[in-house]
Amino acid sequence: MIKDTRISTKLWAAANWALIGFFIINLFGMIATVVTSSFATRWLGTWLPADWTTRWYAAAWSEFQLHDVLFVTFQIVFLVVVISGLIGVPAAYALARRDFPGKKLVMLLFLLPLLVPPITFGIPLATVLYQTGFAGQMSGVVLANLVPTVPFVILVMIPFIEQIDTKIEQAARVFGANTFKLFVHVLLPLLTPGILAALLLVLVRTLAMFELTFLTAGPTSQTLVVALYYAVFASGVRAVQSIDAMAVIYMVTTLIWLIIALRFVNPTQIVARAKR
């Protein structure tokens, strides 16, 4: 294309970059504040704290029972990842390979939990889970978190499965493989990168999922993000630095998995859930 060299065009470009720079500076400023504060002895009215310490991490670890919270968090996340994979991948396979009456309706059923915000469907869902006795314990939190993750796995996996040549499956059928054998020996190895990507995204989303866990968790089934919310909500009871230390622990857990996930997926996939 012809390179535009007018002053107005250059000014407009500069203004755009200034905006995005401003956004990123503030974003990192916000994150840096939390990290700085978590290492600060005393930080009042100055640019940087008076001195540095790591004792807030030990304090947060015991005050907020982070050992238990982290254990619960990883149990919940692990269960959500495994179950959504077990339900989602076969469903995605069926949807990618078969056209059946009512398929559009089924696709709508899978799209809705991703489009409706969690707090909107979370309140009726929590009501039902409380009345059936699931809420308040780990099983309820897992069930609630599965509602958006199962459709998410399905919608991420459908394009992955569609790109696999059906001739490979037909060949396996000719040699006498049943659906189960076809899955284990042919499809699973081919789909591993896609499944890994989908499940890593589920993992990151479940770690950060506040609303559904908040609405269904009891005292012993809180995940890290819900524990952080309660700590910030009741701030004043604990030292600010200790809450910040907890926030840093949460940030590190989430970002580690994000970095691992980004090795397999494009960042935009976290937002643009499905090809429309």
Partner 1 sequence: MSAEATSIPLKQRLAARGLDGLTLLVVPAILFLLALFIYPFLYGLILSFEPKAGGALSNYQRFFSDSFLYGTIATTLWLALPVTVATLGLAIPIAFRVRLMQNQRLLTTILVIPITLGTVLVAEGLLNYLGPQGWFNRTLMTLGLISTPVKLLHNYWGVMLSLVITGFPFTFLLTLSYLSGIDPALENAGATLGAGPWERFKHILFPLLLPGLAITFCLSFVQAFSVFPSAVLLGAPAGPTRVISIAAYQAAFEEYDYSMASAVAMIMAAVQLAIVVAVLAARGLLYRGPAGGGKG
By CB under 8 A, residue 18 contacts partner 1: no
Contact 92, 154 (CB under 8 A): yes
Distance of closest approach, residue 240 Cβ to partner 1, in angstroms: 8
- Among 17-25, 63-71, 156-164, 186-194, the segment contacting partner 1 (CB under 8 A): 17-25
Stretch near partner 1 under the rule CB under 8 A, chosen from 63-71, 74-82, 156-164, 228-236: 228-236
Left if phi > 0, otherwise alpha if psi is -120 to 50, otherwise beta: which for 222? beta
Other Cβ atoms less than 10 A from the Cβ of 30: the count is 9
157-160: long-range contacts at Cβ-Cβ below 8 A with a sequence spacing of 24 or more?
A: 157/88, 157/89, 157/92, 157/93, 157/96, 157/191, 157/194, 157/195, 157/198, 158/92, 158/95, 158/96, 158/274, 159/275, 160/92, 160/191, 160/193, 160/194, 160/198
> How many binding residues for partner 1 (CB under 8 A)?
94
Q: Which residues 154-193 are close enough to bind partner 1 by CB under 8 A?
A: 154, 179
Interface characters, 96-125, with partner 1 (x: CB under 8 A): -xxxxx-x--x--xx-xx-xxxxxxx-xxx
Does position 19 interact with partner 1 (CB under 8 A)? The reply is: yes
Q: Does 30 bind partner 1 (CB under 8 A)?
A: yes
In the complex, the smallest distance separating the C-beta of residue 54 from partner 1, rounded to whole angstroms, is 18
The stretch among 16-24, 52-60, 65-73, 191-199 that binds partner 1 (CB under 8 A) is: 16-24
Binding segment for partner 1 among 18-26, 49-57, 66-74, 187-195 (CB under 8 A)? 18-26
Residues 189 and 196: their CA atoms lie apart, in Å, by 11
Query: Mask: binding to partner 1, 41-60, rule CB under 8 A, as x and -?
Result: ---xx-x-------------
Q: What is the distance between the alpha carbons of residues 90 and 202, in angstroms, rounded to a whole number? A: 16
- Which of the residues 62 through 101 are near partner 1 (CB under 8 A)? 87-88, 90-91, 93-95, 97-101
Site for partner 1 in 200-219 (CB under 8 A): 204, 208-211, 214-215
